[in-house]
Amino acid sequence: NAGVTQTPKFRVLKTGQSMTLLCAQDMNHEYMYWYRQDPGMGLRLIHYSVGEGTTAKGEVPDGYNVSRLKKQNFLLGLESAAPSQTSVYFCASSYRPRSRTGPGDTQYFGPGTRLTVL
């Protein structure tokens, strides 16, 4: 199994350009997530999905859109990139939790996409 893969690995954009980051997982996970990681800060959740065809906002959703048309893929879009969106983006996936009192699901992370917006 490849686990969680992300494309591209690196990208440089100019302010105002658009792009889509692709995340794919082959573990049949229900849940998928997009995070951004900035120096000196913890990972912050952008958007997430609890199943095919569903998406929800996380902690920092502004300026991003997502789509989950297929269970194995989760796309993150930037319609008009800004320098503040320069960051490393991580995708993650997990099984649906079996019970609310259980330990929940471990998230499996992709290798990240390093995005620079000039």
Partner 1 sequence: KNQVEQSPQSLIILEGKNCTLQCNYTVSPFSNLRWYKQDTGRGPVSLTIMTFSENTKSNGRYTATLDADTKQSSLHITASQLSDSASYICVVSSGGNQGGKLIFGQGTELSVKP
By CB under 8 A, name the binding residues for partner 1.
4, 31, 33, 40-45, 48-50, 56-59, 90, 92, 97, 100, 103-112
Cβ 14 to partner 1, closest distance in Å? 24
Q: How far apart are CA 38 and CA 15, in angstroms?
A: 19
Interatomic CA distance for residues 97 and 118, integer angstroms: 40
Contact criterion met (CB below 8 Å) for 77 and 20: yes
Q: How far is the CB of 16 from partner 1 (least distance, A)?
A: 28
What is the torsion angle, in degrees rounded to the nearest 10, for the CA atoms of residue 66, residue 35, residue 7 and residue 69?
A: -30
Smaller CB separation from partner 1, 16 or 111: 111
Q: In the complex, what is the shortest distance from the CB of residue 17 to partner 1, in angstroms, rounded to a whole number?
A: 24
The nearest distance, CB 70 to partner 1, in angstroms, is: 18
Q: Token match 């699901």: residue?
A: 105
How far is it, in rounded angstroms, from Cα 105 to Cα 99? 10
